[in-house]
Amino acid sequence: MRSHEMEQDPADHDAEDGWEVAHPLGGTTLGGVRMAGFRDRIAVGLDKRVFAQPSVVVVIGLGDTPFTVEDERGAQPLTSFAATLAPGPARVRGERVECIEMRLSPPAAYALLGVAPSDLTRPVISLEDVWGRQERRLREQLAEGATWQERLALVDEFLLRRAARAPAMTFEVAAVWDHIVARRGQVRVAELAESCGWSRKQLWSRFSAQIGLTPKRAAMLVRFDHAARALRAGENAIDVALTCGYVDQAHLHRDVLAFAGCTPRTLAAGPRREGGGF
């Protein structure tokens, strides 16, 4: 699970949106984990929709003021939380935000969260409900950290300890996920089943239990993610539909509506850089 990420500057100050962003020097120890620290430098506030994406988002708040997380089951105040791959319509609000955000690949999330995505009780869940006393202890340690690099190193060490005793995702399931990602979601379920020597029923059952999505839905999500990135980069919707493997522009429209809750035009008009992550 070791990664080979390029070294990045420890902090970038963006005067335009007021967010301070810090990346771990040398990257993270574990593969499938991306991590950054965020601080609202000028109290612009956080109000963001949580989009479906091919990673589990984990946010650890560093202050005492909780986020307000709204999903289809209502609003809940959460100091730290985890959002599943396809959380549905969800929104996160916060004031004076200071936090560490992680994006975990499904194999990393399966190991590090300690629960299968299919066992999570709601799309956005309190991290304390997942990690228990370990979450509270980690937040206490982070509060004592004097610099972003100290805090990011504490989280990295915490994850490394969890990984040492974590269950591994079934090799075939992890391989199928990697194949979906490598093909950018442009793959057929029959091809996936053949690649691991399982029947389609076996693949559906085992993949869904460990990833939290069916193979078909996972492929749709990965394809949507590439399309969303292209749209927000300013590419034409017709060209995006063609290059991302959609039948036509109407097909792209349906998928964007299903995963983002808006039209491709609205998605493309959103901010190019999301200061507070998510």
pLDDT per position as a tens digit, 205-224: 999 999 989 999 999 999 99
The model's pTM is 0.87
Would you state the structure tokens that stand for residue 180, as one six-digit string? 């979906």
The answer on pLDDT for 11 being more than 80 is no
Per-residue confidence (pLDDT) for residue 243, from 0 to 100: 96
The answer on pLDDT for 203 being more than 70 is yes
Per-residue confidence (pLDDT) for residue 277, from 0 to 100: 59
Mean pLDDT over all residues of the chain? 87
Average pLDDT over residues 172-195: 94
Domain boundaries, the chain: 12-164, 171-268
Architecture of domain 12-164: Sandwich (2.60)
For the domain made up of 171-268, the CATH class stated in words is mainly alpha
- Secondary structure (DSSP) of 163-227: HHTPPPPPHHHHHHHHHHHHTTT---HHHHHHHHT--HHHHHHHHHHHHSS-HHHHHHHHHHHHH
pLDDT per position as a tens digit, 84-142: 887 777 889 999 899 999 999 999 999 999 887 767 777 888 999 999 999 999 999 99
What share of the chain has pLDDT > 90, as a percent?
66
Per-residue confidence (pLDDT) for residue 271, from 0 to 100: 56
Average pLDDT over residues 247-258: 94
Higher pLDDT, 235 or 122: 235
Per-residue confidence (pLDDT) for residue 1, from 0 to 100: 46
pLDDT per position as a tens digit, 15-52: 447 889 999 998 999 999 999 999 988 878 888 888 88
Partner residues linked to 36 by β-bridges: 101
Per-residue confidence (pLDDT) for residue 147, from 0 to 100: 95
Kindly tell me the sign of the dihedral angle through the C-alpha atoms of 64, 138, 29, 54.
Answer: negative
Per-residue confidence (pLDDT) for residue 273, from 0 to 100: 43
